[in-house]
Chain A
Amino acid sequence: MDFHPDALFKTLSDPTRRAIFERLARDGELTVHALTGPSGVSQPAVSKHLGMLTRAGLVRNRREGRETHYSATPQGLAPLIDWVKLYGAFWHDRLDRLESLLSRMDR
């Protein structure tokens, strides 16, 4: 389980791949067929995206009969997440809004 952030960023830089990942994270385990339906992307393209997501550690798969079932492994995002940095930005933004609100309040 030794992944490089660069590969993760590259994998997530594609909006179709992000959509597939979000769908799996939201809906649980799905087959390529189920994923292809609403995406407007061909089945071979979806399979290719799933391959990249799998190599990046964001998706795992399980074979059952002739079907492969895919599910999200969001913990693969761990190398990207720096809570301190993210919350630092979050609070700066919210305190800007607080200041704006205070300037609109009477007293």
Chain B
Amino acid sequence: MTDTTQATRSVIIERDLPHPPEKIWRALTQDHLIEEWLMKNDFKPVAGHSFNLRADWGAVDCQVMAVEPNKTLSYTWSAYGLESVVTWTLTPTSTGTHLRMEQSGFRADQQQAYQGAQGGWPRFVAALEQVLARIE
């Protein structure tokens, strides 16, 4: 591979949802609702707030970067050597909301950066691969 260590890639997922932005915002920002679809957490919609997302395979360290109610939410996402940023964008449409999730900052050289190599992350990868298997 040449000249890819500085290149970053993103995961972008967009969905049109038949719900108003205010309702989706609650699901994205209230800790008990986040737990239902993402992971256990101590999230607060306050810029600068540090929080964890926790699952049986380990934890993700996060910090809230930007909060604009019903419009945008971003937080850092650090896990197993991966330093990334997750950004949610909500745009009202005639039928509900266009929801966009972007996780950015995947650098090629982070493939090697396994800081948390103490057993948790192989389970993390296994958990992700189970998800992958169900989808494909």
Which of B42-50, B63-71, B111-119 lies at the interface? B111-119
Q: How large is the interface on A (under 10, 10 to 19, 20 to 34, 35 or more residues)?
A: 20 to 34
* Interface of chain B residues 21 through 52 with chain A (CB within 8 A): 23-24, 26-27, 33, 36-38
Bound form: Cα–Cα A24–B20 in Å: 49
> Smallest CB–CB gap between A84 and chain B, Å?
5
Interface residue from B24, B118, B129, B131 paired with A102 (Cβ < 8 Å): B24
B11 within 8 A of partner (CB): yes
A91 and B128 CA atoms in complex are apart in Å by: 10
Contact of A105 among B9, B11, B23 (CB under 8 A): B23
Tell me how many residue pairs across A and B have CB atoms closer than 8 Å: 97
A52 in the interface, Cβ–Cβ < 8 Å? Answer: no
Q: List 13 A-B contacts (CB under 8 A).
A: A25-B118, A26-B118, A78-B114, A81-B125, A88-B13, A89-B136, A91-B103, A92-B13, A94-B37, A95-B15, A102-B23, A102-B27, A107-B20
The answer to whether B101 touches A95, judged by C-beta atoms less than 8 angstroms apart, is yes
